Chains A and B, each alone.
Chain A
Amino acid sequence: MIRRKLGHLSYAPEGFVPAELVSAVTAHGIDDTRRAFLRSSFAAALLGSTVIATRSSAAEGELEILEKQPWQTTLGKPVAATPYGLPSVFEKNLQRRESPGLTRVSAASVAFTPLQGLFGIITPSGLHFERHHQGWVDIDPAKHRLMINGLVKQAKIFTMDDLLRLPSVSRIHFIECGANTGLEWGNVAVPTVQYTHGMLSCCEFTGVPLSVLLDQCGADLKKGKYVLAEGGDGSGMTRTIPMENALDDVFVAWGMNGEMLRPENGYPLRLVVPGVQGVSWVKWLRRIEVGDSPYASKDEAVHYIDLMPDGLHRQYTSIQECKSVITTPSGGQQLHATGFYNVSGMAWSGRGKIKRVDVSFDGGNHWRTARLESPVLSKAVTRFNIDWVWDGSPAILQSRAIDSTGYVQPPIRTLRAIRGSRSIYHNNAIQSWEVGSNGEVSNVQVG
């Protein structure tokens, strides 16, 4: 943080003050001649003659305080000027983005969440990551149906009206694509946390437990060891879910962060499968089939399979293991000064709660335990923070999460030793960010 001390010019609007004058003032302090130069610099760059007409000067304080600002001196906008609210114009850089060159067609692609700008644990609905296999659709809820069939006493149809009458639950869970961080198995490939980890979001979802619906249809729980979830869009996405999960904490959701799901996220109905990779959270959910064996759908037989060094693919890999990442400072950011920083990040586990997060500033040689912020919820993102005083020398920042089962997030070399570097999916390695002596933060891998 640049010290805000009167008479220092570091917080003057950039480029308005000539560099020679900056060094002159820094070296010799401010006098009448230099003050006059300063005024003319501001005047020329900022507001014509208005600045000069005021009685403020850099030595007396900041113009932001000494000057009356437009928002102080004008009437603000009326209520409902933006009937559905939007972020400030100053926040427009934080958007979902595609990674250039990753996919050839945008309808079968990914838009990553800008984790580098988010706080706390909830992902704003408009920034929830997108991953579509055959484009997204906006389904008329009056025409949407959920069918439950297969090994049930009675195959049933539920309308959205039916579903919203049932007893609902609201729970906060993370959703992470199985391929999140998949680009980084072999080497560093992308610059920022948006692209390394941005297929991660965490929202409050509202819906009805799948067990309620299965019970309502008289599902055969003896023979029915699996359910198949199917989407209503063109891709007709299908995923097998073990009955054990289905009865445990899976639910059929319509609500997200207090409003209806966004169409990109499956409006009006999606499956929530806590702890399990995003592809199983079938969007535009139209059908649940109870069966006695797995279905080996395309996205269980050609994609979302993890190639091991012996040439075998692991099939039905689903759980997102314990993982964490520092989001500020992170790759592609620029620190402009030495001094104190709150280092902040996210941790999550598909097996339960986050128990502890450690942070290293020297590439993993020494670690300190970070503060976990509340709430700490099962299969949800937990926010962590830790103090750091940067002395300006190069540093490598890492975070390492431990979950309630005792599982410790591994370094990338430990993962590669077992799984090689071609599995694409389920890379939960410790992330390293290098802070250079010039303040720029870069994505690096250690070891």
Chain B
Amino acid sequence: MFRSAERRSPPPPSRGRSGGGWGGAILIFISVALPATAADKFPGIGRTATGAEVAAWDIDVRPDFKGLPSGSGSVAKGQEIWDARCANCHGTFGESNEIFTPIVGGTTKQDIERGRVASLTDQKQPQRTTMMKVATLSSLFDYIYRAMPWNEPRSLTVDETYAVLAHILNLAEVVPDDFVLSDKTMDSVQARMPNRFGMTKTHGLANARGKPDIQATACMKDCAEFVQIGSRLPDYARNAHNNLADQNRIWGPFRGADTSVAALAALSLSRSVALTQSAPSSAGEDAVPPAPTGKILYAKHHCAACHGLTNKLVGPSFRDVAKRYQGKSDVNVVLERKIKLGGAGAWGNIPMPPHATIEASDIASLVSWILEGKF
């Protein structure tokens, strides 16, 4: 209850009244600083924050630079920090798309003059970078200081933050190589931000009373002349989110489709799906797949990652494999061994890795199916 910080706050009036001479002085202070409305409502709850506490946490920087700490950092210094602490995620030039979306790219000198980024409309840039989007320089300073590096947030000093930001701005060709960014120069750089006029607050989505931009009607009858499907998932993505049968309840009317195999040809009760529940050990696998065929095994063992049926990918197409080995002696044995142990050199430089975990019977079925050549 009586932690040191609390003792620094003005004591509540009751304590002031019972105290000595200085208590009276405090009481006067309170009556000036705190009108009776607020503090009296919930006596004993909350305490005054100290200046040091507010300073420790209140680090936000607004677009008008309120909250910007004094300090500075050069492009050169920023590059050192960047290479050591930032480049492994963001790439040497802030261009990397490996872990996060790119920071730099897609802006031009004309954008800097105009304050609008042209590649946001001409769609020549495949991905929107941070520098294409951000209108306010303060946002970058605030975020780098508050949360970067990603795995060590709050470890950069104010000067290091200025330096890293100077380096990013230099990579984006907003500031020259010898530039020093500081609380004094932020304003001048803001005037060169490539997308500084790229934001609008004119829309109805800021609060619940905003006027919607979309007006739809609730037609009930004969609403569409044609109902046409404009988009659906391609077949090759059937199992891209893994087997959907394992992501739905295993009993009841709405089970998941088994996407590890091809879709059912037709609604078929002779497939006799169990509405009763089997043992929990088979939970999620209660739908028994039809007899394995080559195509199912092709999907099951992810052959498609490297082999197309009729087109060359990383490895040869199965059609080409069938063509080359058709009619050769012991061909089944040779190919089964190649799948199991891997191989190299027959189709180019990229080796085929071994597949030790695929059952021999599956490999044999696959090979027979490939050699049949009926895809």
Are A and B interaction partners? yes
Q: Is B48 an interface residue (CB 8 A)?
A: yes
Cβ–Cβ < 8 Å partners of A436 in chain B: 263
Q: Is B121 an interface residue (CB 8 A)?
A: yes
Partner of A311, one of B116, B136, B153, B275: B116
Cβ–Cβ < 8 Å partners of B326 in chain A: none
Contact with A along B238-272 (1 / 0, CB 8 A): 00111011111111011111110001111101111
Within 8 A of B (CB), among A348-372: 350-352, 356, 358, 362-367
Within 8 A of A (CB), among B188-224: 198-201, 203-208, 210, 212-224
Cβ–Cβ < 8 Å partners of B150 in chain A: 108, 134
Main secondary structure of the interface of B (DSSP, over half): loop
Cβ–Cβ < 8 Å partners of A312 in chain B: 198-200
A236–B247 Cα distance when bound, in Å, is 34
Cross-chain contact A166 with B42 (CB below 8 angstroms):
yes
Cβ–Cβ < 8 Å partners of B139 in chain A: 296-298, 300-302
Cross-chain contact A366 with B46 (CB below 8 angstroms):
no
Cross-chain contact A392 with B267 (CB below 8 angstroms):
yes
Within 8 A of A (CB), among B88-111: 98-100
A11–B276 Cα distance when bound, in Å, is 6
Q: Is B128 an interface residue (CB 8 A)?
A: yes
Q: Is B338 an interface residue (CB 8 A)?
A: no
Cβ–Cβ < 8 Å partners of A414 in chain B: 214, 216
Cross-chain contact A165 with B45 (CB below 8 angstroms):
yes
Least CB distance from A82 to B in Å reads 15
- The A/B interface has a contact count, at CB < 8 Å, of 393
Cβ–Cβ < 8 Å partners of B210 in chain A: 319
A293–B248 Cα distance when bound, in Å, is 47
Q: Is B295 an interface residue (CB 8 A)?
A: no
Partner of A333, one of B232, B257, B276: B257
Cβ–Cβ < 8 Å partners of B5 in chain A: 157
- Supposing A116-B254, A315-B201, A351-B208 touch, asked if A100 and B242 sit within 8 A by C-beta, the answer is yes
Cβ–Cβ < 8 Å partners of B232 in chain A: 188, 434, 442-445
Q: Is A49 an interface residue (CB 8 A)?
A: no
Stretch from A16-24, A199-207, A260-268 at the B interface: A16-24
Cβ–Cβ < 8 Å partners of A108 in chain B: 100, 150
Least CB distance from A184 to B in Å reads 9
Q: Is A305 an interface residue (CB 8 A)?
A: yes
Cross-chain contact B237 with A191 (CB below 8 angstroms):
yes
A305–B271 Cα distance when bound, in Å, is 50
Cross-chain contact A298 with B143 (CB below 8 angstroms):
yes
Q: Is A114 an interface residue (CB 8 A)?
A: yes
Least CB distance from B232 to A in Å reads 5
Stretch from A53-61, A72-80, A122-130, A212-220 at the B interface: A212-220
Least CB distance from B148 to A in Å reads 10
Stretch from B49-57, B71-79, B339-347 at the A interface: B49-57
Q: Is A2 an interface residue (CB 8 A)?
A: yes
A321–B98 Cα distance when bound, in Å, is 33
Cβ–Cβ < 8 Å partners of B46 in chain A: 156-158, 162, 216-217
Which residue of the partner chain B has the closest CB to A217?
A: B38
Which residue of the partner chain B has the closest CB to A216?
A: B38
Least CB distance from B259 to A in Å reads 7
Stretch from A31-39, A86-94, A169-177 at the B interface: A86-94
Least CB distance from A273 to B in Å reads 11
Cβ–Cβ < 8 Å partners of A400 in chain B: 218
Least CB distance from A435 to B in Å reads 10
Partner of B38, one of A153, A194, A317: A153
Stretch from B60-68, B160-168, B171-179, B357-365 at the A interface: B60-68
A438–B264 Cα distance when bound, in Å, is 6
Cβ–Cβ < 8 Å partners of B187 in chain A: none
Cβ–Cβ < 8 Å partners of A341 in chain B: 253
Cβ–Cβ < 8 Å partners of B248 in chain A: 93-94, 116-117, 332-333
Which residue of the partner chain A has the closest CB to B59?
A: A236
Which residue of the partner chain A has the closest CB to B245?
A: A334
Cross-chain contact B286 with A14 (CB below 8 angstroms):
yes
- Supposing A1-B253, A158-B46, A215-B38 touch, asked if A415 and B214 sit within 8 A by C-beta, the answer is yes
A90–B136 Cα distance when bound, in Å, is 52
Which residue of the partner chain A has the closest CB to B221?
A: A366
Q: Is B185 an interface residue (CB 8 A)?
A: no
Cross-chain contact A317 with B227 (CB below 8 angstroms):
no
A192–B287 Cα distance when bound, in Å, is 19
Least CB distance from B31 to A in Å reads 12
Which residue of the partner chain B has the closest CB to A352?
A: B208
Partner of A192, one of B133, B153, B244, B251: B244
Contact with B along A366-381 (1 / 0, CB 8 A): 1100000000000000
Within 8 A of B (CB), among A399-425: 400, 402, 407-411, 414-415, 418-419
A300–B133 Cα distance when bound, in Å, is 11
Within 8 A of B (CB), among A35-76: 62, 64
Interface residues of B toward A: which range?
Answer: 35 or more
- Supposing A108-B100, A158-B45, A335-B253 touch, asked if A12 and B274 sit within 8 A by C-beta, the answer is yes
Q: Is A244 an interface residue (CB 8 A)?
A: yes
Least CB distance from B223 to A in Å reads 5
- Supposing A104-B100, A238-B60, A365-B227 touch, asked if A440 and B35 sit within 8 A by C-beta, the answer is no
Within 8 A of A (CB), among B17-65: 33-35, 37-39, 41-42, 44-49, 53-54, 57-58, 60, 62-64
Q: Is B130 an interface residue (CB 8 A)?
A: yes
Cβ–Cβ < 8 Å partners of A189 in chain B: 233
A194–B249 Cα distance when bound, in Å, is 13
Cross-chain contact A236 with B153 (CB below 8 angstroms):
yes
Q: Is B348 an interface residue (CB 8 A)?
A: no
A408–B265 Cα distance when bound, in Å, is 38
Partner of A190, one of B121, B221, B241, B278: B241
Q: Is A270 an interface residue (CB 8 A)?
A: no
Cross-chain contact A313 with B257 (CB below 8 angstroms):
no
Q: Is B310 an interface residue (CB 8 A)?
A: no
Cβ–Cβ < 8 Å partners of B201 in chain A: 314-316
Least CB distance from A362 to B in Å reads 7
Cross-chain contact A447 with B230 (CB below 8 angstroms):
yes
Cross-chain contact B200 with A313 (CB below 8 angstroms):
yes
- Supposing A14-B273, A155-B49, A301-B135 touch, asked if A328 and B207 sit within 8 A by C-beta, the answer is no
A17–B251 Cα distance when bound, in Å, is 19
Q: Is B280 an interface residue (CB 8 A)?
A: yes
Q: Is B228 an interface residue (CB 8 A)?
A: yes
Q: Is B134 an interface residue (CB 8 A)?
A: yes
Q: Is A131 an interface residue (CB 8 A)?
A: no
Beyond contacts A315-B135, A317-B205: 4 other A-B pairs, Cβ-Cβ < 8 A, are A298-B142, A367-B223, A439-B264, A440-B264
Query: A-side interface residues toward B, CB under 8 Å?
Result: 1-2, 4, 9-15, 17, 19, 22-23, 26, 62, 64, 89-95, 97, 99-101, 104-105, 108, 114, 116-117, 134, 147-150, 153-158, 162, 165-166, 187-192, 194-195, 212, 215-218, 228, 230, 234-236, 238, 242, 244-245, 275, 286-287, 289, 291, 293-298, 300-302, 305-319, 321, 328-330, 332-338, 341, 350-352, 356, 358, 362-367, 392, 396, 400, 402, 407-411, 414-415, 418-419, 426, 432, 434, 436-447
Nearest first, the 3 closest Cβ-Cβ pairs linking A and B are A363-B227, A301-B139, A410-B216
| 10 chain-A/chain-B pairs, Cβ below 8 angstroms | A9-B272, A134-B147, A134-B150, A162-B45, A216-B38, A289-B58, A319-B206, A328-B254, A334-B255, A445-B231
